[in-house]
Amino acid sequence: MPVPESSDRVALVTGAGRGIGRAVAIALSRQGLRVALTARSAAELAETAQACPADTLVVPADLLDLSGVDQVFDQVEDAWGPVTDLVLNAGTSGSARIERTSDEDWQHTLDLNLTAPFRCVRRAVPAMRASGNGRIVAIASVAGKVGEPYIAAYTASKHGLLGLVRSAAAELAGDGVTVNAVCPGYVDTPMTDATVRAIAAATGRTPEQARDALARKQPTGRLVTPDEVADVVLLCLANPSITGQAINVDGGAVQS
């Protein structure tokens, strides 16, 4: 579904340097949106920008920095005006037994997967309210709906992210602002590559066996592609009647 009035819209994609964030940025750019790209790696952002056919703005930043979110939004607003389409993709994952999950790992996961998105939403909302229009999409996970062993911090952060999405959607629906989440299963991205390496190291399986095990968690028998996730993000940005939803893109693993 094409995004309407795309030439007047300003998108900001966090975690845009690779994986799902890169796929979303390219998809939005192909729709004619001006796309601001942020992540920690300037080199990866430059690669994403090179793949985008329309105007891009590269804004390297660390969203864990207390001033990072404001700095990003300030640069975008100075260049193009207020953000109309916010895609919250930056995040982290990890795996450990509960008793081996340190306070530092727990806090880092919550900070990046939940607190940073909250700060971005808080920063974007005033301009969206004022204009009577806005779109916010968070890349969550099916781990935000069900629990799996060894990922307590990640699962807790994604459950919290869905809570933020639902509450914000209820609050902003009357202001013309939609807020949704896209919940992928295992996606063929660098983050999944890291999961594969961790499984192989912990279990003695080959990387190929570990990747196949993740693929078989989904009834389709394969990993989701980043472009398939990006397609659902575009749907959420285009349709003003979809709000407060958490849409699974997981090959049928979680039916909800």
What positions carry a catalytic annotation?
154
DSSP 6-26: GGG-EEEEETTTSHHHHHHHH
- DSSP type of residue 139: E
What is the rounded CA–CA span in Å between residue 4 and residue 50?
A: 24
Taking CA atoms, 210 is separated from 55, 105, 202, 219, in Å, by 39, 23, 10, 17
Q: Euclidean distance between the first and final Cα of the chain, in Å? A: 23
What is the rounded CA–CA span in Å between residue 166 and residue 142?
A: 15
With contact defined as beta carbons under 8 Å apart, do 120 and 168 qualify? no
For the chain, give the longest Cα–Cα distance.
55
Residue with tokens 């796929």, as numbered in its chain: 23
- For residue 179, the SS3 value is strand
Dihedral sign, CA of 120, 73, 242, 30? negative
In angstroms and rounded to an integer, the radius of gyration of the C-alpha atoms of the chain is 18
